Structure 1
């Protein structure tokens, strides 16, 4: 548990230092309760997603797998993370997931965003969850286990199809309206 929190803290340190400084400034203001920072709200949901995703490290890959006990494929991992972290059921396949949320550029990635790749000679055939600092977690392929990799590696960089943001930065975790379904 402590290692996951350390990994998350390091990830945020590299990718969200500016956000953290901005939220500290807002929290230091006496009336900050009336103006909740969307950065804080977004960070809370993103932290839940990243923390949950890291719980699956080492789970074996299984084609069509949706259970950590028997194995997960890429979309099975993502749907388990979203269901268990924030109570939202996603569609079953990477291609269906790619039709949700807001399109975002690679330079605009934030922890909790979905990243898509063409690994089977078709777009959006693989999905992972962005962790920050150029890293993502995914269930790779037969014989593999859920792991963290860098998007910038030659293999993943060539196959990157795009990303989607499902977390609505203006919502709060208790509101249940986490997603921008445009």
Structure 2
């Protein structure tokens, strides 16, 4: 019994005091400040892409400023802004990352829609109900998930960028 008491006393030995003049790094890599910085970087990158590509016409199979389709725009955006290679097609993008509930969307998540005749559409979530995509009718643009057209066709979301 005395041996157990003696051993437990050793286990609770206090560490030497930390000098106040030297701040210690956070123990958790996922601090709120880091998440906010990461999300701000991601949003700024997406907004830069929007500025560069807004109005580029829709072209099925396209991957340039002469024309781009929705999955091509996602592919180019992730590659050029985040140095991240993602699949080129909507079907393959649907298999990537983790599913995200509609009420848990974060900047950079992919949002998917079911359109007429079995077509699928993909965009990149910007926050505050906004997403960036290559629209068949208007080319690269920002739209709202709250718009009746998109709200009715919303299907699912996936997260490719780690949080």
Change (3 A) 1:71 1:129: same
Shift in Å at residue 119 of structure 1? 1.5
Q: Which of 56-65 and 133-142 deviates more?
A: 56-65
| Equivalent position SS for 2:71 | helix
Q: How does 1:67-82 map to 2 (within 5 A)?
A: 67=64, 69-82=65-78
CA contact (8 A) 1:42 1:167 kept: no
The separation in 2 between residues aligned to 1:100 and 1:160, in whole angstroms, is 18
User: Shift of the alpha carbon at 1:35?
Assistant: 3.6
1:90, distance to aligned residue in structure 2 (A): 1.1
2:56 corresponds to: 59
Distance 1:59 1:51 in 2: 19
* Residues in 2 aligned to 1:135 and 1:48: alpha-carbon distance in whole angstroms: 17
Pick from 154, 166, 170: which aligns with 2:148? Answer: 154
CA shift, 1:31, in A, is: 3.6
- Structure with larger Rg: 2
- Separation in 1, partners of 2:116, 2:60: 13
Question: How has the CA–CA distance of structure 1 residues 102 and 60 changed in structure 2, closer, same or farther, with 3 Å as cutoff?
Answer: same
Matches within 5 A, 1:32-51: 32-51=25-44
What's the C-alpha RMSD, in Å, of the aligned pairs?
A: 2.0
Contact 2:111 2:124 in 1 (8 A): yes
Deviation for aligned residue 1:92: 1.2
| Aligned: 1:131 with 2:115 | no
Q: Which runs of 5+ in 1 are unaligned?
A: 1-29, 170-182
Deviation at 1:122, TM superposition (A): 2.5
CA distance, structure 2, for counterparts of residue 39 and residue 126 of structure 1: 32
TM-score (norm 1): 0.67
Write 1 or 2 for the structure with the bigger share of strand: 2
How many residue pairs get matched?
Answer: 137
SS across alignment from 1:130: strand
